[in-house]
Amino acid sequence: MTTHEKVVLVTGGSSGIGAATVEKLAEQGLTVIAAARRTGKLEELASKLRNKNYAVDYKQLDVTNFEQMEQVVQEIKEAYGQLDVLVNNAGIMPLSMLEKRKITEWNQMIDVNIKGVLHGIASVLPLMKVQQRGHIINIASIGAYSVTPTASVYCATKYAVRAITDGLRQELTHNIRTTLISPGVTESELADHITDGEASEAMVEYRKIALPASAIADAISYAILQPSEVDVNELVVRPT
């Protein structure tokens, strides 16, 4: 199979890193399916890229819902006969000190950032095993390597993604590759949903040096475009 025959599913494809990845991979001639909850944003992105004759489709998906994730993978299998790459990118980061007791936001981070990734893995593995090929790319963070105040729960979810990805790498056979991509601060909507005033203010200065989302899309594309016997396991990408 040449790279250009690959079919890729990108979760969280409606903004930031996910949207930049959809665009980058489509430009490179891959068939890309963008999935997220906001279908208006997905439709806008897909039509912009289809107007350039790129192969882009989109699906409404809440990654916390395993049945929906399985359904999306099934629909891709029926439409394209294959799914070669899953980019588990959907994530949220409502930062706050633990003493603020934002239990609902902790649970949401666990549901999206950890369970969402597991739902993705569980949904694609049976198909990838039958295909005898595949590639699962999980987006972690520099927060998967060290913890900072206000980010304890967020970092815990990203440490978990790192652990899961390494375990998956060691367990897998069937010619299936695994890649962990850990971005440093990157332009996106990620910090827009922080409800805690202090944590939100701290982000303003921190995010001034943010990388463009295309920089992370480039790293994802690099991992995908390697020859099939080469598995790029971990990439950390920070602003200079």
Residue 37 found at the interface with ligand NDP (CB under 6 A) = yes
The answer to whether 123 touches 73, Cβ cutoff 8 Å, is yes
Site for ligand NDP in 54-83 (CB under 6 A): 61-64
Size of the site for ligand NDP (CB under 6 A): 30
Instruction: Judge whether 222 counts as a catalytic residue.
Output: no
* Amino acid present at 127: L
Q: Which of 185, 217, 220, 232 binds ligand NDP (CB under 6 A)?
A: 185
Closest CA to 11 of 3, 22, 2: 22
State the Cα–Cα distance between residues 207 and 198, nearest whole angstrom: 14
- Smallest distance, ligand NDP to C-beta of residue 186, A: 4
Rounded Cα distance, 85 and 177, in Å:
9
Exposed e or buried b per residue across 162-178, where buried means at least 16 C-beta atoms within 10 angstroms of its C-beta: bebbeebbeebeeebbb
How far apart are the C-alpha atoms of 45 and 187, rounded to whole Å?
Answer: 17
Residue 150 or residue 186: which is nearer to ligand NDP going by CB?
Answer: 186
From 7-15, 44-52, 125-133, 223-231, span contacting ligand NDP (CB under 6 A): 7-15
Residue 7 vs 19, nearer CB to ligand NDP: 19
CA distance 235 to 87: 14
Q: How far is the CB of 133 from ligand NDP (least distance, A)?
A: 25
CA 164 – CA 138 distance, rounded (Å): 9
Rounded to a whole number of angstroms, the minimum distance from the CB of residue 10 to ligand NDP is 9
End-to-end CA distance of the chain: 36
- Binders in 92-151 for ligand NDP, by CB under 6 A: 92-93, 112, 139, 141
101: left (phi over 0), alpha (psi -120 to 50) or beta: left
> At closest approach, how far in Å is the CB of 30 from ligand NDP?
19
Catalytic-role residue among 54, 58, 154, 159: 154
Which stretches of the chain bind ligand NDP, using CB under 6 A? Answer: 11-18, 36-38, 41, 61-64, 89-93, 112, 139, 141, 183, 185-186, 188-190
- Catalytic positions: 154
